[in-house]
Amino acid sequence: MQNDRGRKRTPESAKGEADSFYRLGRSYESGKGVKQSYESAAECYAKAAAMGHSRAIHSLGKCYFNGNGVPKSRENAVALYLKAAELGNSYAMHSLAKCYEGGKGVERSYELAVEWYRKAAELGNVYAMHSLGECYEKGKGVRQSYEEAVKWYKKAADLGDARSVSNMGDCYCFGHGVERSYEKAVEWYRKGIKLGDSYSINGLAWCFYHRKGVEQSYDQALALYTAAADLGNTYAMHSIGSCYFYGHGVPVSFEKAAEWYAKAADLGNAYAIHSLGWCYINGKGVEKSYEKAVELYEKAARIGNSYAMHGLGWCYENGKGVKKSYAEAFRWYAEAAEMGNVYAMHSLGECYEKGKGVEQSFRDAVEWYRKAAELGDVKSMSNLGESYYYGRGVPQSYVDAIRWYTRGMEQGNTFCMYSLGWCHYYGKGLEQSYEKAVEWYRKAADRGNGYAMYGLGWCYYYGRGIGQSYEKAAEWYAKAADLGNSYAMYSMGECYYYGRGVEQSDDLAIQWYIKASEMSASRSMLRDEAYDAEMKDDLIRSD
């Protein structure tokens, strides 16, 4: 009888036995003190799990999730996570939430993910606090709220979660849920660096690169990006590529830029995949290949990168690396635009304006231009100005046209500068003044705008707002023509035909007329000596 009582398992002894199997499983999994073996680890976890050990159940779930020591089965993993979660294990709750968020082994449900993140967070799980903060930041399963995101990031950060510390820096950097303060962002990033967090290192590097909260230093930024990259941070790898691309802190090297983009791309960084695709589009650091670019854009687009989606739209619109398809271009632009990509919004507006891949609609074009313009896209500001100038999709209004041209001009858009000059030239919404027109044309021309170069040449040719000079007119026409302006090409033909500002030459005149004709300029197919000396709205502004 004594021996029977000795063999009887008490709750305490059972718990101790389960703990022993669990700890032995961890040893086999890590290879600490024993030869590493996922199979042995899974066996030990299974024995402890059979005794109701919640941590062992969770660990066995992870074995099934990753296929370590057991056949990979996300469904079995979810079942085990749920079992452990119901026993109160916050780590299992967090793992279960991750499965619901990613649709791994279970139907995706952001709402259920949030539910389990919240349960785990309320039990003090810092990883769940961080994940819950991300859900609020991105509006996944809950109403988007930067303030709630900050609340949960702060709780986790105060408990030492390095990623949440980095996120706090990001919130202060971009003014999400808190008043923007680059100085406070830098403080949080420095805290994260002390915890060895690569995202914090990358964040501080960004501050040095962009002179936010610290003195600008490309050298310091590059050193920090390198430190973060050494820790495997793919965003830092991508940024190092950009340093080489622009020559910030290092000599310009498109080849090294492409190498760093490729490193980050191989590790799945969508931004780097897109940037590498852009290099292939333009032949920067790699041999030009539209097909390779499309392949990369498609890969990044599948991950959800809106820039790659926009790039794919461009490829389909122009038939680069794929068969030209305005319908496909429109589809990709629309998908990227719905994700908030302002470049795609602008491109979508152009599709509606020109009827590419969709029924033409000036009204819809204006809607998308306005969305992009309100988000700071200067090209869309210019397009909105044009829409109001001509009354396309909106009631005609020179006042509103001037307002949008001015906003675009303030952001450095040269077409808006040129357009303000145009309005002064013709007195449309602004005081008629050839002198002010010349001022704006020159500002835009000095910044490389071909329309403005042509306009400045026109003013010199006819002596409008400036001393008449055929020589200077020819100079500016030539500059504009070199940029592909068909009207400037036609005007060069005129200069050579009459010998104005250049030595008379019928041969060169004909050559310029042909160039202009090939550019499909509506007035250059044949020379018309009776052509009105005034520029026409439907010519220069619709090239």
The per-residue pLDDT of the chain, averaged, comes to 93
Identify the CA nearest to 458 among candidates 497, 433, 427, 487: 487
CA-based R_g, the chain, Å: 32
pLDDT digits (tens, 9 = 90+) for 407-439: 999 999 999 999 999 999 999 999 999 999 999
CATH 1.25.40.10, applies to 428-543: yes
Task: Break the chain into its structural domains and give their ranges.
Answer: 428-543
Instruction: Give the mean pLDDT of 138-160.
Output: 97
The DSSP result for 137-165, as a single string, is HHTSSS---HHHHHHHHHHHHHTT-HHHH
311-355: per-residue pLDDT in tens? 999 999 999 999 999 999 999 999 999 999 999 999 999 999 999
216-245 pLDDT, tens digit per residue, is: 999 999 999 999 999 999 999 999 999 999
Give the burial string for 16-36 (b: 16+ CB within 10 Å, else e). Answer: eebeebbebbbbbbeeeeeee
Please spell the DSSP secondary structure of 76-120, one letter per residue. Answer: HHHHHHHHHHHTT-HHHHHHHHHHHHHTSSS---HHHHHHHHHHH
Instruction: Say which residue the tokens 């719905």 belong to.
Output: 338
Q: Alpha-carbon torsion 309, 311, 312, 313, what sign?
A: positive
CA 484 to CA 450: how far, in whole Å? 8
